Amino acid sequence: AGVELIVWGPRYQAAAGAPVVQAADPVRSVNDNSLVVEVRYRGRALLFTGDLEAEGERDLVDAGVAPVDVVKVAHHGSPTSSLPALVEATRPALAVISCGRANRYGFPASAVVARWRAGGAEIARTDLDGAITVRVDAAGGLAVERFAPAEP
């Protein structure tokens, strides 16, 4: 079984091999035009949401995004991301939040972390856990590794 790659965007979904490039119209937030990719492999699904904010997440939900095993939380866990509808639609076992330690924006927002946890997700954060690797093994099992950085 090969890797299935799905590219999501405003008003379209395309499988790899049939790529679609389309500018959003009307022009929206640059973040809401992020490339969103879903990877399916050995019965697992991983969703990479880029820097989406609320409008882009609504588009994703409206396009029919389904439950996944892992989601890379959009926009570093900003309060403008992680709509309840997206959390409910995806219901991941793991939500990965990529954000810098002690960043000036205060990301991730505590409400965003709470929302994913309430949806049943374990939380992995790069600011606390360091680099995070998710692997799908030959049997379809998920392995998550955290490489915590040394304390400054």
Q: Is 44 domain-assigned?
A: yes
Q: Quote the number of domains for the chain.
A: 1
Write down the mean pLDDT value for the chain: 85
Higher pLDDT, 145 or 106: 145
Give domain status of residue 109, yes or no. Answer: yes
Cβ atoms of 6 and 38 within 8 Å: the answer is: yes
Q: Which residue has the higher pLDDT, 87 or 148?
A: 87
DSSP state of 128: H
**Is the pLDDT reported for residue 66 higher than 50?**
yes
Q: Are strands 131-136 and 142-147 parallel, antiparallel or unpaired?
A: antiparallel
Q: What percent of the chain has pLDDT over 90?
A: 54
| Angle at 28 (CA atoms; ends 67, 54), nearest 5 degrees | 35
Confidence (pTM):
0.82
Q: Is residue 127 part of a domain?
A: yes
CA-nearest of 78, 86, 40, 22 to 59 is 86
- Tokens found for residue 26: 């009307």
Structural domain includes residue 83 = yes
Domain assignment present for 52: yes
- Domain contains 95: yes
What CATH number is associated with residue 94?
Answer: 3.60.15.10
Give the domain extent around 17: 4-147
The whole-number pLDDT of residue 33 equals: 74
Nearest of 92, 125, 89 to residue 106 by alpha carbon: 125
Asked if residue 152 belongs to a domain, the reply is no
> For 28-42, what is each residue's pLDDT tens digit?
677 777 788 899 999
